[in-house]
Structure 1
């Protein structure tokens, strides 16, 4: 039996993970900014699921939630950093009051929650699951701010994997493609400053044309995440769905092409040896 603390449980993957882990008999600390939105979810599981209010951008709240989780269940085995949302629009269209709060949730909130949980995770030798995205593998026009946030999640996660390996703590970076959650409904915003110059590249119609039509089954994705958390040989990177794999393969091919094309020139930059 594992004890999980999951952020962003009011919808999407966070909610589905909380339910799936509780249904299989694990203990769950489900958190959300609005705790009332998730209280009913916990009722069927008696004392195996507790709900806590947690705004991940509040470092003090993160520490308090971890302390309450440890008091309730004696420790934490799995931390899932799931809370987040997307801002779409061209880079020039974005305004600080739009993109800075997104980084506060997606990046700095993840950092603060992870830092608060690490003492408990060192004791358990547990697992950190960081919800990234196919958007964390490859950048595209119209999603630059969201790509940047998820690229940051990837870098933080890779560094954590090296830092925490001596403690037996594993890190799993989950990189979903498009799955049929309500992400495109409630978890995506568009830059308000719409500029005609970027009409062809700002992807402003992405939500309207894709919401509810995503190919990915989120319950199947959750089953794979659970399998990876339980596995002894889980990878660091876990692309989910054919679209995510296509993104990863395209990025690797493009990266290799760039490296090979300029290799002889770019490696000849050391000081000459006398």
Structure 2
């Protein structure tokens, strides 16, 4: 069955790889980006099934226009992929509001508004899907990624609640949690705090060195990530959480182990918090 997709952030990275794969397999696609120039070659290769439009997720109204295009061009919408966003490096103390607030506007509030715009169309198509790009950074916090962690932790919680709301309506949510993949994420898609504080040289600033030495050398193959995402969208019973790559799975396992250890160590004390004589 041919599906109609709307994907945000298609100019580069996993969004571009997914858009290419969706078009190649014959599905209909509304490919979006803040600048559509990079999408024209895709539209020219697939003129019958691909439409391109500007979508800056931080600008109210542009998401609604993209959804309207999907409905007018292809008769509806089956899959929304919230991929647009960027990363940010810096210790919590180092970053200024004008540096970290745009991160929340793109990674969280833009995702919310795009989802809200698409939900009426998705609810009209039983079996539709919402794919939210989180990260292994949405599963475990680490020095230097605190603000990025915060946006992706929020995406996780929002997506879990949304999945609970939509399950009776036969709309499923998939949270994709990639580890490092060889895209432009550590390059053009990563911002950083301008200020550096010496106290964080051995912690948060180590992440800056990681960026410098790993950009373009990540182990993950975007084509393989996209293949897993397509399989998850197509399956009748998709996972709510979809970690991608061995690094992401390692993050999950370490987080669960540490969580269980804390709970077990403090259970007898922390569980004894009810009134002795309940009303």
TM-score clears 0.5: yes
How big is the shift at 1:267?
0.8
The reply to whether residue 263 of structure 1 matches residue 264 of structure 2 is no
Match of residue 145 from structure 1: 147
Which 4+ stretches in 1 moved above 3 angstroms? none
Query: How is 1:168-247 mapped onto 2 (pairs within 5 angstroms)?
Result: 168-202=170-204, 203-247=207-251
Output the CA distance in 2 between the equivalents of 1:264 and 1:198.
Answer: 36
Query: How is 1:71-86 mapped onto 2 (pairs within 5 angstroms)?
Result: 71-86=72-87
Q: How many residues align?
A: 274
Output the CA distance in 1 between the equivalents of 2:18 and 2:236.
Answer: 20
Q: Report SS of the residue matched to 1:157.
A: helix
Q: Report SS of the residue matched to 1:79.
A: strand
Task: Give structure 2 stretches of 5+ with no counterpart.
Answer: none
- After superposition, the C-alpha distances for 1:91-123 in whole angstroms (9 at most, x for unaligned) are 000110010001000000000000000000000
Query: How is 1:7-46 mapped onto 2 (pairs within 5 angstroms)?
Result: 7-46=8-47
TM-score, normalization by structure 1: 0.98
RMSD in angstroms over aligned alpha carbons? 0.8
Match of residue 119 from structure 2: 118
Q: Report SS of the residue matched to 1:124.
A: coil
TM-score, normalization by structure 2: 0.97
Output the CA distance in 2 between the equivalents of 1:47 and 1:186.
Answer: 31
Task: Give structure 1 stretches of 5+ with no counterpart.
Answer: none
Q: Report SS of the residue matched to 1:186.
A: coil
- After superposition, the C-alpha distances for 1:214-253 in whole angstroms (9 at most, x for unaligned) are 1111100000000000011221000000000000000000
Q: Report SS of the residue matched to 1:70.
A: helix
The reply to whether residue 106 of structure 1 matches residue 110 of structure 2 is no
Match of residue 95 from structure 1: 96
